[in-house]
């Protein structure tokens, strides 16, 4: 039986650091107001001339360098994003050109903040088919390009970034051991950019109404997240025939520390086992899980033999998780 092992990871982070005080025009004592509600102190925003593919390319190159892997060895590139450079072509094809992966095929996936988890699931199954040996997966988003900076309930939450992972085939029982992905289209309206496609094309009128910017029903999304995350933990560990207490770490989607606090209390899993970086990067959407994974592999917190559960949730509604033995 084939398994997908993690060969290397990488990340792409904008240089511009945006602290909570940036949002003082929206609320008084912005730093305390935002931190107390989200756990976020700062985030990174790209400059106007930087696109999602640029961050994704940086993350890809770092992963290739870390793994000592040539771009020509890649069979496939999957970019998970909801802020593609353009409606068409795919951002993945732009990354393919940038890194010189001439033997790969490339495409995008959009499951909003679950995009990275969905893309890893897809890559895992490609590898298990026996047809592909090395696949580059990238979660990348530049939400600063689509935020409504007059909406204090959403614009302080997000940051920009990219996280990359290279998966390779192995016959050893290591790497991705179990996974789960789900969606519920009944909740699609909870997270959306109303004027951004064929249903409601961008017009001067929709721009004036800010309908070309990100919208989220925050309270409903909180209820959704705190419902599905314990189910991800329970179902993935049950499928793997392990106890949740055997998990060394959990890497959740970095949305809001209050969600993590709630989940920790609900499941009894100590908060210290949840690896978080949202205080420094905010919610980087599809990038968040990959960024946190790369950071904790590089700082040595995640080591060989560790069992780690990665999980994401987002618009669609969508959610999923996977158990990885490093």
Write down the domain spans for the chain: 3-173, 177-325
What digits encode the pLDDT tens for the residues 272-282?
999 999 999 99
pLDDT band at 17 (very low <50, low <70, confident <90, very high): very high
pLDDT band at 28 (very low <50, low <70, confident <90, very high): very high
pLDDT at site 226: 96
As annotated, the active-site residues are 113, 253, 283
pLDDT band at 248 (very low <50, low <70, confident <90, very high): very high
What digits encode the pLDDT tens for the residues 156-170?
999 999 999 999 999
Class of the domain covering 3-173: alpha beta
Is the domain defined by 177-325 classed in CATH 3.40.47.10? yes
pLDDT at site 188: 98
CA distance 278 to 288: 8
pLDDT at site 305: 96
| Fold equal for 3-173 and 177-325 | yes
């Amino acid at each position: 039986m084939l398994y997908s092992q993690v060969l290397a990871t990488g990340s792409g982070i904008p240089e511009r650091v945006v602290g909570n005080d940036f949002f003082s025009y929206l609320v008084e004592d912005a730093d305390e107001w935002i931190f107390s509600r989200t756990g976020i102190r700062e985030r990174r925003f790209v400059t106007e001339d930087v696109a999602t593919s640029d961050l994704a390319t940086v993350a890809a190159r770092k992963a290739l360098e870390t793994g000592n892997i040539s771009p020509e060895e890649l069979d496939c590139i999957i970019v998970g994003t909801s802020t593609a450079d353009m409606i068409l072509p795919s951002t993945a094809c732009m990354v393919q050109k940038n890194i010189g992966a001439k033997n790969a095929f490339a495409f995008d996936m959009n499951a909003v903040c679950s995009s990275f988890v969905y893309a890893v699931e897809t890559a895992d199954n490609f590898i298990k088919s026996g047809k592909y040996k090395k696949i580059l997966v990238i979660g990348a988003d530049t939400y600063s390009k689509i935020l409504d900076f007059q909406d204090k309930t959403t614009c302080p939450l997000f940051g920009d970034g990219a996280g990359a992972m290279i998966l390779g085939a192995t016959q050893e029982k290591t790497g991705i051991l179990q996974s789960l992905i789900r969606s519920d289209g009944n909740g699609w309206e909870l997270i959306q950019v109303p004027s951004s496609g064929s249903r409601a094309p961008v017009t001067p009128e929709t721009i004036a109404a800010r309908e070309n910017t990100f919208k989220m029903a925050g309270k409903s999304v909180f209820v959704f997240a705190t419902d599905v995350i314990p189910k991800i933990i329970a179902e993935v560990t049950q499928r793997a025939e392990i106890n949740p207490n055997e998990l060394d770490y959990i890497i959740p989607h970095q949305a809001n520390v209050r969600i993590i606090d709630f989940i920790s209390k609900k499941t009894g899993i100590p908060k210290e086992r949840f690896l978080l970086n949202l205080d420094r990067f905010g919610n980087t959407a599809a990038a968040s899980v990959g960024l946190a994974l790369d950071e904790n592999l590089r700082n040595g917190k995640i080591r060989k033999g560790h069992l780690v559960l990665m999980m994401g949730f987002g618009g669609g509604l969508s959610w999923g998780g996977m158990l990885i033995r490093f």
